[in-house]
Amino acid sequence: MQMEVTTNIKKRVYQFGPESTEGGKDMKPLLGGKGANIAEMCLLGIPVPPGFTITTEVCKEYQEGGSEKLRPLLKQEVEAGIAGIEKVMGATFGSDERPCLLSVRSGARDSMPGMMDTVLNIGLNDQSIKGLIAMTGNERFAWDSYRRFIQMYGDVVMKINSLSDDAEDVFERVLSKKKLDNGLHSDQELSVQHLQEIVEEFKQVINHYTKQEFPLSPWEQLWNCMLAVFDSWFTPRAVYYRQLHDIPEEWGTACNVQAMVFGNMGLDSGSGVAFTRNAATGENRFNGEYLINAQGEDVVAGTRTPLQITQYASREWAKLMGIAEEERLKSYPSLEERMPKVYQHLDRHQQRLEDHFKDMQDMEFTIQEGRLWLLQTRTGKRTGASMVKIAMDMMAEKMIDEKTALLRIDPNKLTELLHPVFKPRQVEHSVKLAKGLPASPGAATGQIVLSSHEAEDLSRRGKKVILVRLETSPDDLPGINAAQGILTARGGMTSHAAVVARGMGKCCISGAGALRISYEKQTLIIGEDKFRPGDWISLDGTKGLVYKGKLDTVDPELSGDFGAIMKLANQHAKLEIRTNADTPEAAVLARSMGATGIGLCRTEHMFFGDDRITAMREMILALDETGRQKALDQLLPMQRGDFEKILEAMQGFNVTIRLLDPPLHEFIPTTPGLQKKMATSMGITIKDIAKKVEELKEMNPMLGHRGCRLGNTYPEITRMQVRAVLQAALKLKAKGIDTHPEIMVPLVGDIGEFNMQKRIILDEAKKVFAERNDSIACPIGTMIEVPRAALVADQIAEEAEFFSFGTNDLTQMTYGFSRDDIASFLPTYLKKGIIQHDPFTVLDQQGVGQMIQMAVTKGRSTRPNISMGICGEHGGEPSSVEFCHGVGIDYVSCSPYRVPIAKLAAAQAKIKKEG
């Protein structure tokens, strides 16, 4: 069969260029993504350096027959391709006067980031380098190009580094040694002679490892590079990537051979980057930067200051810099002024490209001896504001439709629009001190405090403070509340500080490992810098960056475009978006963000308040049920009051209230001082307290006495909470307020656990209803967060009226990863590519997702109309939201500020699924 296919191949090489192009964008299976796109640009009349694509079929042919069989089959077509290139470029492959240099790149049907093999400057050798020097007049550039070529060739074609036992790149070692020997610090400082020496040494390295000479024949170089591209399709790295992404091996890769162009061939040459619209603001105005007599890398390197492409932008820039028009025109002319013809071409091409691709384009171009070449065009990166404006503008311009506009928004980037940010200019000039986890977005600036107490004190005196702690505990709650932002040295994205701060919509950076905090000495040391309380720092919680000093923040403007996008999203989304909120304030905030209900109201967070933590502690430390009941009686009116306010704030919508979940020791006083205070207030000995605290200690609290295990061993806790919920709802009902409470049992793993809780809840409800002579509907459901619950979801759904997937715990137990302890290995895992994402950030669809899918299917098998939601941290993560839509979940619940993100992701998920 395969032989048949092989012998049927009529055409193996497809040329492209200004003169003739044989491919097009619909030929991706044959030409690969890159080859098809280049051809498409050519068809649009965009001047692209000429070249040709060897088809993916040849990849298969090569695998079957090897290089001996392949070369004769390809020879004629490749030679014709080269001839075509030479003709357009007016240069000759291998010439030592005017050499035509080539690049070779792989290109599969789908983009495989990081899998792409590339070799540049093919055709350089000890002879042709003379031609390159003559053409560019830049000897250093030519020698640097040569050494780069040998290095890439050695790496990609000769696989030197896989032959070496050394962990370090063998070529980089030569470079390092050269710099060290000559007292140099950067590659830029290497002289022509150094580079010449390096070229020789590189050749020796190749000889040493391969026992072969570096090939000086341009044709041999070319053939080897092409075969290496095909080989790269079969490397273990590529095989692994394909397995992960379900890409069939038989697709193969194409191979693109293309002319190199040079922007450093004199004053009629140059390079630049351009954008069809403004990437920062979204304004519909062509813009970009360029440099005369320079290669592309010079434009981005920052050693020379690039100039503006358009006259308009050039003038704006000069105004800002205080440069007179005459001086500007002389020293900083725009491309529009300097090379008007070239500019006109460029402007025409950019319009053509945006019209064609229907999105803002980011282009690289090179002008070689007055001739414009576009090297690349791609969808341009942009800020959140720009992203929203461009999408809505293009929709208004009828360039794209509603669905496309929605798909154009990166949900995660909306964050930028929802929180205060630092003034960009100030950030550029500030000292970055440390990086931590972006635990809760926004920007905050304030004076350092190292204790919650001090935070409250200074805040009361009108100061802005940043609370800096090793990690936070419930004791720190008043301090977190008082501070502008929170910075911790330990803890992950779901640490106490992170969860509380997100709930409050407050900026927080957690797990900033570089911090050295001494409470005793009252110092904060970061690297060489030593801070004391009162010193100013600033936090960018969106990026996890800590800055030195005081930075000004600007509040976000929720522009009309943003509102319009959200309205669109609302129309398209099927998934309902609820919020995780534990306070009336958070509920109000979430409503304003568009949440339609509370998917997770954590009752334990209510116990952290100053007035109630004491009663909570008395409950926990009580030596018997009587003592426990006494404390619970104190807590009842407080909880009832909380629920009343939350239910009222969410009137008309569901409020899912989770019964007490965390291990009790999270609440207990840890310091002897606090323990003594508790003992006094409870009238028991400090020894009793200490004993109880000791008893509550657990080896693995995450898998210990928590969740419904608490309510099943101390039913009086469940009863108090149920009573508080129902009394609050009945009170509101009497006032004519429409409430929809739901009671959620946490950490169920066995139907027996749920049934016992349900019995207690129903029994208490019966009592409350009888007492008030009134009743209210209140569904009883459960979290699905223990793997076993997913496995027996059919049984559980017979009794539970709703499921809410607690993806945090489900991820912990499915992976066996304690999120508090992953810092010791997860960074290594991500770095080595052992796993692809932090599963606490991006839902692990293969494992945890499989559990969810199983629970959805099993749950619906016994209760077809069961309501299902997600209330873990993943509820606001777009790819996870898409997954939820895909498996047929009814709602996701996330922190208030992530509601718009989730809403948009939900709309996108629906649009994508419907195709």
Within 13 Å and on the Cβ side, how many CA atoms surround 577?
34
Nearer to its own copies, 29 or 847 (CB): 847
Any catalytic annotation for residue 185? no
Residue number with CB closer to its own copies (38 or 813): 813
Task: List, as one string, the DSSP characters of 106-145.
Answer: EEESS--TT---EEEEET--TTHHHHHHHHHS-HHHHHHH
Residue bearing tokens 């657990």: 698
42, 59, 225, 871: the active-site residue: 871
Residues 6+ apart with CB under 8 A from 150: 199, 202, 203, 206, 214
Q: Which is nearer to its own copies, 260 or 517 (CB)?
A: 517
Cβ atoms of residues 511 and 487 within 8 Å: no
One-letter amino acid at 762 equals L
Per the CB < 8 A criterion, the answer to whether 822 and 830 are in contact is no
Least Å distance, CB 685 to its own copies, is 16
What's the closest the beta carbon of residue 516 comes to its own copies, in angstroms? 11
Give contact residues for its own copies (rule: CB under 8 A): 240, 698-705, 709, 712-713, 747, 749-750, 752-753, 755-756, 785-788, 791-792, 809, 812-818, 820-822, 824-825, 828-829, 832-836, 844, 846-848, 850-851
User: How many angstroms separate the CA atoms of 395 and 405, rounded?
Assistant: 6
Q: Give me the least distance between CB of 330 and its own copies, in Å please.
A: 58
What is the nearest approach in angstroms of its own copies to the Cβ of residue 854? 9
Cα 459 to Cα 699: distance, rounded to the nearest angstrom: 38
Q: How far apart (Å, rounded) are the C-alpha atoms in residues 280 and 382?
A: 6
Crossing angle of the two packed helices 686-696 and 672-682, in degrees rounded to 10: 120
Q: Which tokens hold the place of 867?
A: 């309501």
CA distance 55 to 13: 6
Report the alpha-carbon distance of residue 870 to residue 783 in Å, rounded. 9
Identify which of residues 611 and 624 has a Cβ nearer to its own copies in the complex.
624
Helix axes 584-592, 625-649, angle to 10 degrees: 30
CB of 82 or CB of 789, closer to its own copies: 789
- 496: annotated active-site residue: yes
Q: Report d(CA 593, CA 834) in Å as an integer.
A: 37
Q: How far apart are CA 77 and CA 66, in angstroms?
A: 18
- Nearest approach in angstroms of CB 663 to its own copies is 9
- Smallest separation (angstroms) from its own copies to the CB of 665: 11
The Cα 894–Cα 873 span in angstroms is 7
> Do residues 195 and 147 touch, judged by C-beta distance below 8 A?
yes
107/33 Cα distance (integer angstroms): 6
Alpha-carbon distance of 307 to 566, in angstroms, equals 38
Residue number, 131 or 839, with CB nearest to its own copies: 839
Tokens in use for 52?
Answer: 């040709």
Burial of 704: CB neighbours in 10 Å, binned 0-12, 13-18, 19+: middle
Min CB(658)–its own copies separation in Å: 16
By C-beta, is 191 or 857 nearer to its own copies?
A: 857
For residue 102, give the nearest of 119, 79, 115, 78 by alpha carbon: 119
In the complex, what is the shortest distance from the CB of residue 797 to its own copies, in angstroms, rounded to a whole number?
A: 14
- Rank residues 470 and 638 by Cβ distance to its own copies and give the closer one: 470
Determine the Cα–Cα distance for residues 326 and 502; give it in Å rounded to an integer: 53
CB-wise, 438 or 715, nearer to its own copies? 715
Nearer to its own copies by Cβ, of 5 and 825: the residue is: 825
- Considering the candidates 345, 349, 419, 496, report the single residue annotated as catalytic: 496
In sequence order, which residues have a C-beta less than 8 Å from that of residue 145 and are 6 or more positions away? 101, 120, 121, 124, 132
Nearer to its own copies, 287 or 845 (CB): 845
* SS3 state of residue 841: coil
Least distance in Å: CB of 809 to its own copies? 7
Residue identified by tokens 């000069």 is 318
| Minimum gap (Å) between residue 722 Cβ and its own copies | 18
**627: Cβ–Cβ under 8 A, 6 or more apart, which residues?**
618, 682
| Structural element, H or E, at residue 801 | none
Smallest gap, in angstroms, from Cβ of residue 43 to its own copies?
42
Q: Which residues are catalytic?
A: 496, 871
